[in-house]
Amino acid sequence: MNRFLKYSLIIGIMVLCLGYLVYAGERSISSSENVVCSNLRISIVDSEEKKLISNEEIAAVLKEKGLNPIGKKIGKINSKSIEDVVEKHPMVRKAECFKTPSGEIQIEITQRNPVLRVAGVENYYVDDLRKPMPTSLNYTAYVPVFSGNVTRKLAVGSIFDFATFLNKNEFWGNQIEQVNITNDMKVELVPRVGDHIIMLGTFDRFEQKLEKLRKFYLYGLNEIGWNYYSKIDLQYRDQVVCTRKE
């Protein structure tokens, strides 16, 4: 067999094999698209950390929107439509929908992450993207609580920065129980230890103010007692002004 015929035979065999693979793949896809969906598997990937939503709640949303996949042919199910509807849920950050050859629809959901809570006239969380989100009936996030005259602009601005600091700082995260914004927009801190109110003033230079307070705790209140004062004022630079209990 000359070289030309040899190469022609090899190329012909390769073309036949490739054609068979394409044909088999198309048959397989066509066959899988006719499979009827028998199960909906919903996975909330960060549910061990928090559970703002439940599998039943997501299934109910899909049913309400006419997107319950069970009983439908896999080829007729629109994964993108399912993802879009689930991601409109106020507790969901991201949703991914997958089809399996066995006829199962899988949805993987990542929840939003609350950083702080506003409690008062309005009651809501702010997530780690600085976006307000509603509270959940299923779960209470243990995050810093802000009350009083809290505006949306303040909540996603200075308050968010302060809450992020508290979440990262073990000492102050444990010590500050609540933050109140007064009618004249002054910041008051309610500590877990000590029967006093901390007057922060504004959020400007809050790290320096709290460091000043930490030293006062260490060298002052540890000596005279944590319930000696009713008010500790940090608004003045380089000094701590205290009001004794009457």
pLDDT in tens, the chain (246 residues): 555 555 555 565 665 555 444 444 444 444 567 888 889 999 999 888 888 999 999 999 999 999 999 999 988 889 999 999 999 999 999 999 999 888 899 999 999 999 999 998 889 999 999 999 999 877 888 899 999 999 999 999 999 999 999 999 999 999 999 999 999 999 999 998 888 899 999 999 999 999 999 988 888 777 776 677 889 999 988 788 888 877
Task: Read off φ and ψ for residue 16, nearest 5 degrees.
Answer: -60, -45
Q: Is the pTM of this model over 0.85?
A: no
Which value, to the nearest 10 degrees, does the dihedral of the CA atoms of residues 199, 204, 205, 207 take? Answer: 60
Relative orientation angle of helices 55-64 and 79-87, to the nearest 10 degrees: 120
Spatial separation of the C-alpha atoms in residues 180 and 182, rounded to whole Å: 6
Q: Which of 61, 66, 116 is nearest to 89 (CA)?
A: 61
pLDDT at 97: 95
Q: Give pLDDT tens digits for 115-124.
A: 999 998 889 9
pLDDT at 195: 83
Q: Give pLDDT tens digits for 79-133.
A: 999 999 999 999 999 999 999 888 899 999 999 999 999 998 889 999 999 999 9
Which domains does the chain carry?
A: 39-111 (3.10.20.310), 114-244 (3.40.50.11690)
pLDDT at 183: 93
